[in-house]
Each structure stands twice: as C-alpha cells, then as structure tokens.
Amino acid sequence: MPEQDLSGKTIAFLVSTEGIEQAELTEPWKAVQEAGGTPILVSTESGEVQAFHHLDKADTFTVDKVVDDLDVADVDGLVLPGGAPNGDLLRTSDAAVSFVKRFVEAGKPTAIICHAPWVLVEADVVRGRRVTSWPSLRTDLRNAGGTWVDEEVVVDGNLVTSRKPDDIPAFNRELLALVAAA
C-alpha cells in the first residue's frame, strides 16, 4: 500500500488516441488507485484509445472525458504517459497543449514520462526547469530552455519527469508525493 493518501483527489491521465506506452499508463494509474485517488482517462477524442508494448499493440482503454470538456479546476493532478506516437500526437493537439500549459502554469502537480515531455516543449513551459525524458528528446528540451539531465526521476516545483518504463517505481513515488502535498 502506498505511503501517500490521495483520498478525494482526482488525477487526469491525458493521452492521444494511440501509441500510449501501456505500462506508463497502467502502473501510475494503479498507484493512484492504491493511494485512494481517482484516476480518469482524458483524451483528444471520445471512444477508446490504443496502448502499445513498445511497438506492439496492447490493450485498448475507454476514455472518460475529452480534454476540450475538462477544466483545470476539475482535477488535482495530471499524468502524461509516454510512447513516441502518443507524445507526438498530443503535441499536435491544440486542446491538449493548451490544457497542459494552463495546468502547469496553475502550479498543479504534473507528471510526465518518456516521450510525453514533447507536450511541455510545445506548451512552452520548460524554460528554466530541470527535466528528464527519453534520451532522444534531450535536444528538444534544451532548445526549449530546459536543463535536461539523465536521471530516473526529476522533481522541479510542480513537475515530475522520468525517462522510461524502468523508472516507473521512482516516477510513481514522486507523483504520489507531489499530489498528496498539494
């Protein structure tokens, strides 16, 4: 059982319609539930989203809410799972980018893993922040004004960033701590 208590807290998991790295969605989701929080799946479209195990199709998940219909005040924390296609598709969605920008600027707990920091770049909220990601995003994050480091998890204010599925235990620990403290 997690040490943090997220009772009464709602955490939005924002994903595109496909290419979500399944472990980076399901493991943090489970951690939020075990801590007493309520996770909701938010996407750019209603219906189902397709997750992957790296390059192989995995499970589908039903969307709870479309990002256009979600207000920053409706949730206590935000998770952006990775997957290269997921991060790439999210950063091309004006609604997703706008939501992430408003959420981060509101100072609310935001946890991003793997390729999802591309959305932070697009939202222009990396400048002056210390972050990590999948290594191929290093130059993008630096060009956006961030300080990229190769560490399993980085906490900078209201941001938690992590590199890959192997880092999920550290990612979950910091996500839960940040949301519990908010």
Q: Which residues are catalytic?
A: 114-115
- Whether 78 contacts 100, CB under 8 Å: yes
The span from the CA of 30 to the CA of 53, in Å, is 17
Name, in order, each residue with C-beta under 8 angstroms of 73's C-beta and a sequence gap of 6 or more: none
CA 137 to chain centre: 15
